[in-house]
Amino acid sequence: MPRLAQNEDGEDKHPDKGRRKVHRQKPDKGLTPVGQYARNGLLSLLVEKSFMFSETPTFKLASGKMSSYYVNCKKTAYDAEGINLIGSVVFDAVKKYSPTAVGGLTLGADPIAIAVAGESFRRGSPIKAFVVRKVTKEHGTKSPVEGDVSAGDAVVILEDVITTGDSALTAIKSARDFGLKVLAVVALVDRQEGGRERLLAEVPAVEAIFTKDELLAHLRSQN
């Protein structure tokens, strides 16, 4: 069951083992040259570390559906280079909404939110981070939302991968129950399986940094 991160010889294409091939996309008119460079780098790293493939549907998704490919964004989000690229690219995506904070359902959204908060501070436009618990703890404040946020704050919900949209919908409900105003949902990857459309019925805007088609196109460009 090969990982898409490997080259034709089955070698791990880690930066320490040679230069990574960076996919050159058509420039996004909304990005600076530095922003476009970061986006290209993140695409390459996601395919290298996070995109796995099998000839048969062997990956069970959170929805219960079986798939022939799987996107494990945590492999990239917990990488030193990856978390910095994510912070830069996702901050570029969320800043137009002018949120007070960003966050989403644990565990997938956690490193993304922290990365964006760090990047926002470096750029002089601080945005807070928060996390939505899957299960509310039975001690302390018993809050479903953790972080320096308060009722009335405007937030962007973050997600690593959109499939059915269920995780983001859970985060949206918890955020609203807490009193937060949800401006948008921003994800790293959209698997293009109807989740985005479901989310658009709940929030004004939904966007993904990359789609499944873009990841596959990058893979094919390496072969």
Summarised one tens digit per residue, pLDDT across range 182-206 is: 999 999 999 999 999 999 999 999 9
Report whether 85 contacts 38 (CB < 8 A): yes
Reply yes or no on domain 15-222 having CATH 3.40.50.2020.
yes
Q: Which residue has the higher pLDDT, 53 or 29?
A: 53
Instruction: Using pLDDT thresholds of 50, 70 and 90, give the confidence band for residue 19.
Output: very low
pLDDT top residue among 5 and 172 = 172
- Integer Cα distance of 85 and 34 in angstroms: 11
What are the structural domain ranges in the chain? Answer: 15-222
Mean of pLDDT over the chain: 88
Look at residue 173 in the predicted model and tell me its pLDDT.
Answer: 98
Per-residue pLDDT for 215 more than 90? yes
Distance CA 84, CA 37 (A): 13
Look at residue 136 in the predicted model and tell me its pLDDT.
Answer: 78
Prediction pTM value: 0.85
Peptide bond into 31 cis (omega under 30): no
H or E stretch including 119?
Answer: helix 110-122
Of 109, 49, 120, 110, which is closest to residue 87 (Cα–Cα)?
Answer: 120
Residue 95 above 60 pLDDT? yes
Which pair of tokens denotes residue 12? 């791990």
Q: What's the order of all strands across the beta sheet hosting 101-105?
A: 145-147, 128-132, 101-105, 154-162, 181-190, 206-211
No. of helices (H) and no. of strands (E), the chain: 7, 10
pLDDT at 220: 82
At residue 140, the pLDDT reads 64
pLDDT of residue 13: 40
In whole angstroms, what is the distance from residue 112 CA to residue 104 CA? 9
Contacts with 32 (C-beta within 8 Å, 6 or more apart), sequence order: none
Higher pLDDT, 3 or 145: 145
Banded model confidence at residue 222, pLDDT cuts 50, 70, 90: confident
Give the per-residue pLDDT at 123. Answer: 98
pLDDT for res 4: 39
